[in-house]
Structure 1
């Protein structure tokens, strides 16, 4: 109030402690940002302190950080190759474009296959696979998927193609 310069102190309530910035001219608006690394509900406490150590009453704000959406891919062999997409939540995913590519060896059929899954509910799984794989030799299996919400997943595995079979997938 006396026109003293002001420090602004914020506690984000995530264990990082109180962080003070300034000094700023009295009355100057400032902005602050923070990235939480864990989902949860946090009480943000902010106060102002002038250069004469006079403090404002703390203000509080409550923010809830949701779990980030994610998708996981697992690959298996056998008769052909198949990949399982798992939606780890917390939201349903829509229009998931996917691809499976076999790189290496002599691949006569099923080298690259693409498709779209209309939707995948929270916690749901969907298996994707080429209609036919035919070849011979060591190969690298690349699987990728991207949802309309911008959630991406990629994985790589290796195996051995023997006719229509994919053996030793790791």
Structure 2
């Protein structure tokens, strides 16, 4: 039996300098578009490591800390887990804490999707990307992107 997911995750908004945002389409829910997301593998896994791992697993992008730098927004969202995915968590778990990160990449960076997780990817202007996201916390992070990039 597969172990239950830890109800703590990361959200990584991938963008270019001109705020084009990469969205990926879920394989288990075609038509559901999102940024990179993923749960901790262990309760003591550092959030930055979770973000780095998920970024690579889902897109093939390596955050090396030099050319590609993950930024921790020091922002967390608590949201109700969608009923369709609650079976992945221990009985009674209904909320997840999501930690927001972003990463700026060149527009021509190669994207290698994990085929079991995602079907397609698309680059969109940030407002269009926010509109396409099925997750409200993901959309909100994208809407904050312009302001965040100005202040960081």
**TM-score range normalised by the length of the shorter chain:** under 0.3
Task: Name the larger-Rg structure.
Answer: 1
Q: Which has the higher contact order (CA 8 A, sep 6+)?
A: 2
Which structure is higher in strand share? 1
Task: Using structure 1 for the length normalisation, give the TM-score.
Answer: 0.26
